[in-house]
Amino acid sequence: MLTPIHFNGERRSVEADQQSPLLYALRHQLQSKGTRFGCGSGHCGACHVSLNGRAVASCDTPLGSVANQTVETVEHLVASQVGAVVRQSFIDVQAAQCGYCINGILVSVIVMFQQTLQPDQDRVLAALDRHLCRCGAHSRIIKAVDLAKQRLAMLNSQVPVDA
């Protein structure tokens, strides 16, 4: 059955069983290789995508439930202004060790910053709560989020001067 979705800014249709995980359609049919299979049960966060501006696990989201919804993957999100700042902050503090979980973490952090440019510590921790980093880079991830928060505040405070 065909499922229409708004995928990374384009209208697309995916042909697959309505109960198959969104993750499989993203990786196999839409070639979104940044969305990773981790645990397969929605507990590790490696497969997170933005669904209508909310970070969700794509491994336990049925494809049929996202018909006509907006799905954005890490590849699309890091190309936005907020995403580019977050991505560079993660690079600058070397927040990724093996890099496997980081794409899902980037999605959740970018979605959080899209909702508020100045999240408090509780909001940051809530955004990262469903993510497991087996390498133990948690403290660097928090530093990267703090750096992105500072950079986004500076960027937001810059007022364009009329020429």
Task: Give alpha helix (H) positions in the chain.
Answer: 22-24, 74-77, 81-92, 102-115, 121-128, 138-157
Q: What is the pLDDT of residues 22-74, one digit of tens each?
A: 999 999 999 999 999 998 898 899 999 999 999 999 999 999 999 999 999 99
Q: What is the pLDDT of residues 93-128, one digit of tens each?
A: 999 988 889 999 999 999 999 999 999 999 999 999
pTM over 0.85: yes
Q: What is the mean pLDDT of residues 5-34?
A: 95
Cα(140)–Cα(33) distance, integer angstroms: 24
Q: Which fold has domain 2-73?
A: Ubiquitin-like (UB roll) (3.10.20)
Cα(157)–Cα(163) distance, integer angstroms: 18
- Beta bridge partners, 48, equal 57
CATH of domain 77-157: 1.10.150.120
Going by pLDDT thresholds of 50, 70 and 90, the confidence category of residue 163 is very low
The residues, any chain, with a CB within 8 Å of residue 87's CB and separated by 6 or more, are 78, 106
Going by pLDDT thresholds of 50, 70 and 90, the confidence category of residue 21 is very high
Query: Which tokens go with 128?
Result: 């990262």
Domain assignments of the chain as residue spans, ordered by start: 2-73, 77-157
Cα(92)–Cα(88) distance, integer angstroms: 6
pLDDT top residue among 133 and 152 = 152
- State phi, psi for 36 to the nearest 5 degrees: -105, 145
